[in-house]
């Protein structure tokens, strides 16, 4: 399967290539000189509260998918054919490609369907982060996030030259629940 030609706003296919994807991305050191860092994988997670981040403005880097999230495992992509069978354990998310100030790429999972203050403030941060460097700071007492825009005049992000398919592969290499025989699907269904 050629991931570079996939349309990710539709339901993703489960046969993701298992080859390792590495990318060269530019990051800045304390003297603002570009250095090269190899990023072998892209994590699927919300940026940490101390991280300023930007969202990729190109919508082809925003992926509507089904995922299995757990505190004890990395996020897994779920084949849409399993949605009905695993519906109590999986969630529909929009994954947004973000870059932090140190050049780390992440896919930020955003709940497009929730009306919670947490989800709404995350969606608001995504909109703002397409133009500005922002932080997303959780405040438990308000059951919401504070969105903080960088006060300095920070440079524009240097997005690596990766196709949406390469980003997707780097995030989900080996992390696809593609059938009922997958160990996580078996565990969720109570199969030995």
| DSSP of 83-97 | TTTTTTT-EEEEEEE
Q: Quick: pLDDT tens for 39-72.
A: 668 999 999 999 999 999 999 999 999 999 998 9
Residue 99 has pLDDT above 50, yes or no: yes
Q: Quick: pLDDT tens for 136-183.
A: 999 999 899 999 999 988 999 999 999 999 998 999 999 999 999 999
Question: 125 near 47, Cβ under 8 Å?
Answer: no
**The model's pTM:** 0.78
> Comparing 1-5, 111-115, 119-123, 161-165, which segment has the lowest mean pLDDT?
1-5
The percent of residues above 70 in pLDDT, for the chain, comes to 79
What six digits make up the tokens of 1?
């399967």
End-to-end CA distance of the chain: 31
Would you say the C-alpha torsion 167, 50, 122, 110 has a positive or negative sign?
Answer: positive
Identify the residue whose tokens are 């919670």: 116
CA nearest to 23, candidates 99, 94, 133: 99
Question: How far, in Å, CA of 14 to CA of 71, rounded?
Answer: 23
CA nearest to 55, candidates 94, 12, 99: 99
């Amino acid at each position: 399967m050629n991931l570079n030609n996939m349309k990710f706003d539709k339901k993703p296919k489960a046969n993701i290539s298992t080859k390792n994807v590495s990318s060269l991305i530019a990051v800045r050191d304390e003297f603002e000189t570009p250095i090269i860092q190899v990023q072998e994988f892209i994590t699927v997670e919300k940026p940490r509260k101390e991280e300023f981040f930007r969202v990729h403005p190109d919508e082809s880097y925003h992926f509507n998918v089904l995922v299995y999230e757990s505190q004890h495992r990395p996020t897994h992509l779920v084949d849409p054919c399993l949605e009905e069978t695993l519906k109590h354990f999986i969630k529909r998310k929009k994954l947004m490609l973000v870059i932090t100030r140190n050049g780390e790429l992440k896919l930020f999972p955003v709940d497009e369907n929730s009306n919670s203050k947490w989800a709404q403030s995350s969606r608001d941060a995504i909109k703002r982060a397409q133009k500005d460097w922002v932080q997303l700071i959780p405040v438990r007492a308000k059951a919401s996030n504070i969105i903080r825009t960088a006060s300095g005049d920070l440079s524009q992000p240097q997005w690596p030259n990766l196709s949406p398919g390469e980003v997707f592969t780097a995030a989900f290499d080996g992390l696809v629940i593609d059938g009922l025989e997958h160990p996580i699907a078996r565990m969720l269904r109570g199969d030995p």
